[in-house]
């Protein structure tokens, strides 16, 4: 188990990273503006369910395989980028009803949840975090490495949920006020689609596996 000092230092470092908006935060903000605070909170749950997948992978060593294979890393990155771009293009092209009734249905919320899961599972930056950053706080002499990774990962998820819920609540509240007019609903859909496309392009162009040092 990590000691209190290590856990505290990790929490501070994780918070410093979490408060800076990244692809996951932008996804949550877009969903919050579109579906309101309820939809935003559901997207947070989806994103961090995806994070738990990365935590489990790191604990059993799968992240190391992903990072050491440039081909696998690039494949995951491009699949994730294509998924985001597909979401954005579909939203940009679909007809929009200029209606003020924005209450999300249960089926819509389920889609929001699973989209969040897929977005973060296919986010190579999350895997990169657990491969390159988290191991700095793991000390083999203190016991089972996998258990330490799980504890640190759970801490990261807890902090991430609190941080991202703040973004979701703020964006959902502001979105409800900014997009009350019917014409604004159409603009919101187009902006939301543009955000997904931009996220997909950023994912495709960013995040590279660590280079292996020459022997």
Domain annotation covers residue 27: yes
DSSP classification of residue 129: I
Query: What radius of gyration, in Å, describes the C-alpha atoms of the chain?
Result: 18
Look at residue 203 in the predicted model and tell me its pLDDT. Answer: 63
How high is the mean pLDDT of the chain? 75
Q: What token pair was written down for 53?
A: 């997948």
Domain annotation covers residue 138: yes
Of residues 121 and 214, more confidently modeled: 121
Lowest-pLDDT range, 33-42, 62-71, 99-108, 182-191? 99-108
Look at residue 35 in the predicted model and tell me its pLDDT. Answer: 82
Element (H, E) at 133: none
Domain annotation covers residue 210: no
- The pLDDT of 34-40, averaged and rounded, is 86
pLDDT, tens digit (0-9, with 9 covering 90-100), for 154-207: 999 999 999 999 999 998 888 766 655 555 556 666 666 776 677 677 667 765
Domain annotation covers residue 212: no
pTM of the model: 0.70
Beta strands in the chain, from DSSP E residues, in sequence order: none
Question: How many other C-beta atoms are found inside a 10 Å radius of the C-beta of residue 82?
Answer: 14
The distance from CA 27 to its chain's CA centroid, rounded to whole angstroms, is 7
Domain annotation covers residue 213: no
Domain of residue 35 covers 4-205
If phi > 0 it is left, if psi is from -120 to 50 it is alpha, else beta; for residue 68 that is alpha
**CA-based nearest residue to 133, from 144, 120, 149, 117:** 149
Domain annotation covers residue 215: no
Domain annotation covers residue 59: yes
Percent of the chain with pLDDT strictly greater than 90: 13
The band of 45, judged by pLDDT with boundaries at 50, 70 and 90, is very high
Please give the Cα distance from 136 to 140 (Å, whole number).
Answer: 11
pLDDT, tens digit (0-9, with 9 covering 90-100), for 2-23: 677 888 888 888 887 777 777 7
Look at residue 214 in the predicted model and tell me its pLDDT. Answer: 41
Domain annotation covers residue 164: yes
| Whether pLDDT at 37 is above 70 | yes
Tell me how many domains the chain contains.
Answer: 1
């Amino acid at each position: 188990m990590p000691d209190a000092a290590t856990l505290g230092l990790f929490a501070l470092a994780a918070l410093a990273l979490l408060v800076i908006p990244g692809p996951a935060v932008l996804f949550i903000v877009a969903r919050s503006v579109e579906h309101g605070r309820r939809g935003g909170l559901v997207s947070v749950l989806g994103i961090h369910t995806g994070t738990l997948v990365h935590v489990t992978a790191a604990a059993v060593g799968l992240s190391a395989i992903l990072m050491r294979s440039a081909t696998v890393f690039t494949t995951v990155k491009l699949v994730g980028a294509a998924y985001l771009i597909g979401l954005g293009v579909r939203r940009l092209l679909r007809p929009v009803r200029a209606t003020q009734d924005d209450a999300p249905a249960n089926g819509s919320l389920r889609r929001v949840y699973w989209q969040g899961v897929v977005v973060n599972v296919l986010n190579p930056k999350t895997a990169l975090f657990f491969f390159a950053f988290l191991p700095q706080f793991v000390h083999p002499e203190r016991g089972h490495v996998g258990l330490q990774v799980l504890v640190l990962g759970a801490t990261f998820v807890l902090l991430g949920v609190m941080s991202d819920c703040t973004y979701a609540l703020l964006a959902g509240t502001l979105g409800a006020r900014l997009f009350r007019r019917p014409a604004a609903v159409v603009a919101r859909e187009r902006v939301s689609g543009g955000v997904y496309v931009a996220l997909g392009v950023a994912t495709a162009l960013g995040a590279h596996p660590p280079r292996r040092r020459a022997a």
